[in-house]
């Protein structure tokens, strides 16, 4: 996502430091404990959004599910700033943010620590020489498989038909089981429960239909 530079990004992020764990790897295997202290109860699950952008989705999700803990991951500090400020203003105790590349998530979360991963409108990386950067490339699926608890799933939404076709193949070729697959989420049986992201609003208003799927990894050997 190319974003305009904000004034005083670092100073503004510093004001939201309580939502940005400084050494996230130290919580590996202990995220629920960290959230329990914040939420004043044991969370009923831990879910990740990768590439949260400006945070509209995670804000709605966290408000809808106050007993679930959410970690929103975003590599771009400018986008992250807007997401973090929104959640701070809403005084949500069940969301934390990480500014890092999803490829490093194995250093941050223990095997089986996460119940669900959301991939919303991930960058399509259309050139084949960049295919490894797509968040549904085989190396990322292997990473998600280790992070997910038994019964855990990945949920993907995108307006980008080539990325969706690539993702369907990637999941299938790596043994994942697909469900809730649709090329028109907003006119599907799952529309009522759908929470729109910023990108989703923009592109669906321009007439693009939204593709979506849920994927469950193969059982670990
Ligand atoms: C197209 S934007 C979509 C933002 C938001 N999910 C939405 O739907 O409005 C994709 C976001 O993913 C982030 N992103 C891309 N690759 C990433 C990675 N490897 N790790 C973390 N964030 C990533 C980008 O910085 C960008 O903000």
- Domains of the chain: total: 2
Q: Are residues 37 and 19 in the same domain?
A: yes
116 and 194 share a domain?
yes
Give mean pLDDT, residues 126-138. Answer: 98
CATH number for position 36: 3.40.50.150
Mutate which of 122, 135, 156, 198 to test ligand 1's pocket (most atoms within 8 Å of Cβ)? 122
Final residue in a domain of this structure, among 73, 106, 139: 106
Residues 146 and 78 in one domain: no
User: Using one digit for the tens of pLDDT, what is the confidence trace for 182-218?
Assistant: 999 999 999 999 999 999 999 999 999 999 999 999 9
Is 123 known to be catalytic?
yes
Residues 25 and 126 in one domain: no
49/154 Cα distance (integer angstroms): 10
Query: Does residue 1 have a pLDDT over 60?
Result: no
For 105, phi and psi rounded to 5 degrees?
Answer: -65, -25
Q: Indicate whether 119 and 220 sit together in one domain.
A: yes
pLDDT for the residue numbered 221: 65
Same domain, 89 and 115: no
Please state the pTM of the whole predicted model: 0.97
Q: Please determine, for residue 162, whether its predicted confidence score (pLDDT) is greater than 80.
A: yes
Residues 91 and 33 in one domain: yes
Q: Which long-range contacts (CB under 8 A, 24 or more apart) does 191-195 make?
A: 195/57, 195/60, 195/61, 195/64
Catalytic residue among 111, 123, 184, 193: 123
User: What is the reported pLDDT for 6?
Assistant: 76
**Per-residue pLDDT for 2 more than 70?**
no
Tell whether 142 and 41 lie within a shared domain: no
Task: Give the range of the structural domain holding residue 26, as residue numbers without chain letter.
Answer: 1-46+64-106
Ligand 1-lining residues (CB < 6 angstroms): 1, 50-53, 73-76, 79, 101-103, 120-123, 197-200
Banded model confidence at residue 109, pLDDT cuts 50, 70, 90? very high
Task: For residues 221 and 132, state if they share a domain.
Answer: yes
Q: What is the mean pLDDT of the chain?
A: 96
């Amino acid at each position: 996502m190319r974003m305009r530079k904000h004034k005083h990004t670092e100073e503004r992020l510093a004001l939201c430091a309580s939502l940005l764990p400084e050494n996230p790897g130290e919580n590996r295997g202990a995220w629920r404990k960290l959230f329990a202290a914040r939420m004043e109860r044991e969370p009923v699950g831990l879910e990740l959004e990768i590439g949260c952008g400006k945070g509209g989705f995670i804000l709605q999700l966290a408000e809808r599910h106050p007993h679930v803990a959410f970690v929103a991951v975003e590599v771009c500090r400018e986008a992250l700033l807007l997401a973090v400020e929104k959640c701070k203003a809403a005084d949500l105790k069940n969301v934390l943010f990480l500014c890092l590349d999803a490829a490093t998530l194995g250093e941050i979360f223990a095997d089986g620590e996460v119940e669900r991963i959301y991939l919303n409108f991930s960058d399509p990386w259309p050139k084949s020489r960049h295919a490894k950067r797509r968040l549904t490339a085989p190396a990322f699926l292997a990473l998600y498989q280790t992070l997910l608890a038994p019964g855990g799933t990945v949920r993907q939404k995108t307006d980008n038909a080539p990325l969706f076709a690539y993702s369907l193949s990637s999941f299938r070729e790596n043994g994942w089981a697909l469900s809730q697959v649709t090329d028109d989420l907003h006119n599907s049986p799952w529309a009522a429960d759908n929470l729109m992201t910023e990108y989703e609003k923009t592109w669906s208003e321009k007439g693009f239909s939204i593709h979506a799927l849920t994927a469950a990894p193969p059982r670990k050997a």
